[in-house]
Amino acid sequence: METSQKLERNKETIRRLYVDILNKRRLDLLDQIFSEEYVNVQGDKGPAGFERAANSMTQAFPDIQWTIENLIAEGDKVVVKWFWEGTNTGSFNGFPPSNQLIKHTAVVIFDFEDEKVVKNWMLFDRLSFFEQMGILSPELTSPPVKR
């Protein structure tokens, strides 16, 4: 396959992940995106490993919707910058619901082998996330008051 076609196909795969699968809660289609060799940061494998992480998000933020801001592909990698919005009405990682609308942004790098995702790496604004959730006070990051 020609390189430009491969890059476009990989980008389309990641676009489908967010727009058609996560936003529409079609997790039954994850096996079309993720290899059985995929391992997430918690050590969960395959499409089921990604599904567990996705389910924890949709349980905590039932109305969550992702929006893709940028998609870049090179070699066997696709980089996506996205943001999501969702109302925190369920517990998340042991934290009680804040009942607040949360807005969150991240950059994710997906690695492909044989047209499926085998791993990913994510960088996100954890501080802002915890402030919006009410876990950390925004005063922690405020500049000191001059006297």
Whether residue 33 is contained in a domain is answered as: yes
Q: Which CATH number belongs to the domain containing residue 33 in this structure?
A: 3.10.450.50
Q: What is the pLDDT of residues 62-103, one digit of tens each?
A: 999 999 999 999 999 999 999 999 999 999 999 999 999 999
Rounded Cα distance, 66 and 82, in Å: 7
DSSP structure class, residue 27: G
Question: For the segment 58-69, what is each residue's pLDDT rounded down to a tens digit?
Answer: 999 999 999 999
Handedness of CA 129, 132, 133, 136 (dihedral sign): positive
Domain that residue 33 falls in:
3-137
Phi then psi for 101, rounded to 5 degrees? -75, 120
Predicted confidence (pLDDT) per residue in 10-48, tens digit: 999 999 999 999 999 999 999 999 999 999 888 889 999
Query: Considering its fold, how many domains does the chain have in total?
Result: 1
CA distance readout (Å), 127 to 105, 131, 138, 141: 11, 6, 9, 9
